[in-house]
Amino acid sequence: MKKIRYGFTLMHKHAKALMVRYKIKAPGSYLKSNHHQGVMWAYRKECRMTSDMAEAIFWRLWQTKKLTEPQMKAVSKTFAYSYELMGGQPGGNWAGVKGAWSCMVFGVGEPEVKSCLPVRIPTPQQLKDAFTRQWDGRQPLVTHCGGVVAAWDIFVCGARSKMDVKKVKDSLEYVYDYDDKLYCKSKFENGRSKLRGKKVGKREWWGYRVCTCKDGKHSRPPPDLVYELDKEGNPEDGSESQTWNTSCPLACCEFLQKLQQKSGSNRFRSYAQWKPKSGKMYKENINRVVEFAIDWLQMQGACTSATRFCTNSGRYALGRLLSKVNAGYPEGVEIHADLWKTWHDAYQADVPPSDYKCRDQSRNPDIATKALRKIAHFFGGKRVKKKLSLVEKFVKGLMKDKELADRIHYDEADSDDD
């Protein structure tokens, strides 16, 4: 208890401005009858701490460079106490505090902060090469298709390596249209990530996969293929060439769904494990999904064992793809869900300015997948038409340069000269 009270006094001594701003009363201002003798909060109604507040205070204390490692640990214990007081699990701490602590290094000289920024990020061309290279037999077909889905979710849709991937892993809600709209989607368990308080679990969110087949002519897996696999997950005839697009995420999802149904599961799992001994799918998921996706990219020639991509580079790769395909913020937010400023400052510096405020994902798949279909076209898929106003249609009719007119029509003009 002494350390907890000591940490509270350190917070007020070295981060007083923030404590006042957050309306956290000074030591000695609380009920004298509580078990801290009024030095600090002891009841839930006295405490107003949140993860964001704790993270901001913790960083401010670090930036003063006046606290030693034991003193910072004392402050961390104070935050852990407030976390439990506000309903958190015993022994836990605020996510903001844990994230900040993992970046702090104590040693000789001035304290330094480890960078959490990824060093190796897939380029759009590397991803294009990976998603246009067909299965060649160097790994089992089932493993290859699972890698396609995992790599798409993480490096094309920008799923966060921990919380987003876990939400998709835990999800059993799966919607698909293999014939008409050519998309499928997995629901994020408990809604969109990065929500606080009463908003947690209130915003429905889905991870989409779309067709990347050449010119939008979707190539579906043969319906009987799942019955023609050996225990390793390869076609029994030993053929490495397939008549369907083995690197289309939509086709791979259909193949894996049918394989899971054959194994006795009526609920689709995005990252289900293959069991070579029995030649069936586990009901459990792959444990290390991000590493599994990077393994697939390495197998596809996008990187080597010495230049493997960073596990937290997915959203940065998405930012590069959105810039490459000229997708604006209203289209991109349907995938990443971040505020414009957050997305601009962290992942896509050249995203065009936008005052678009909606952060709820559209229930219309045509709207929700517009940016993904632009990426799919970059990978070789069908072009995405831009809806033209009456004036734009008139101007198009007057233009002599048909090639440029078509590029504008499909929203592919990428410079002022165009």
Given pLDDT bands bounded at 50, 70 and 90, which one contains residue 273? very high
Q: Is the pLDDT of residue 388 over 90?
A: no
Residue-level pLDDT at 312: 94
**C-alpha–C-alpha distance, residues 246 and 132, integer Å:** 9
Is the pLDDT confidence value at 395 over 80? no
- 76 and 189 inside one domain: no
Report the chain's mean pLDDT, rounded to a whole number: 89
> How far is Cα 257 from Cα 398, in angstroms, rounded to an integer?
49
| pLDDT value of residue 147 | 97
Domain identity same for 39 and 144:
no
Q: Mark whether 139 and 195 lie in a shared domain.
A: yes
| Residue 219 neighbours by CB distance under 10 Å | 15
The answer to whether residue 167 scores a pLDDT higher than 70 is yes
Please give the tally of structural domains in the chain: 3
125 with 227, same domain? yes
Helix (H) or strand (E) holding 408: helix 402-409
pLDDT on residue 396: 66
Q: Examine the pLDDT at 394 and tell me if it is beyond 90.
A: no
Q: Are residues 149 and 241 in the same domain?
A: yes
* Residues 61 and 181 both lie in one domain: no
Whether residues 373 and 390 fall in one domain: no
**Which of the given ranges, 206-215, 222-231, 409-418, has the highest pLDDT on average?**
206-215
- Average pLDDT score over residue span 101-117: 65
Supply the DSSP string of 319-379, one letter for each residue.
Answer: HHHHHHTT--HHHHHHHH---HHHHHHHT-TTPPP------SPPS-HHHHTHHHHHHHHHT
The closest of 123, 118, 16 to 66, measured between CA atoms, is 16
* CA neighbor of 122 nearest in space, from 154, 75, 92: 154
pLDDT at residue 34 in the model = 86
- Residue 343: the pLDDT is 96
Supply the pTM of this predicted model: 0.70
What pLDDT score does 270 carry? 95
| Average pLDDT value for residue range 289-294 | 96
Contact 271, 123 (CB under 8 A): no
Q: Which has more confidence, 242 or 371?
A: 371
- The mean pLDDT value for 204-231 works out to 92
- Boundary-marking domain end, from 68, 94, 113: 113
Same domain, 109 and 169: no
* pLDDT (0 to 100) of residue 101: 86
Say which DSSP state 8 is in.
H
Pair (289, 393) in one structural domain: no
Domain boundary among 53, 86, 113: 113
Residue 389 neighbours by CB distance under 10 Å: 8
Burial class (CB in 10 A: 0-12, 13-18, 19+), 120: exposed
Boundary residue ending a domain (113, 137, 152): 113
The region that residue 356 occupies, defined by phi over 0 for left and psi between -120 and 50 for alpha, beta otherwise, is: beta
Q: What is the mean pLDDT of residues 382-408?
A: 69
User: Range of 243's domain?
Assistant: 120-383
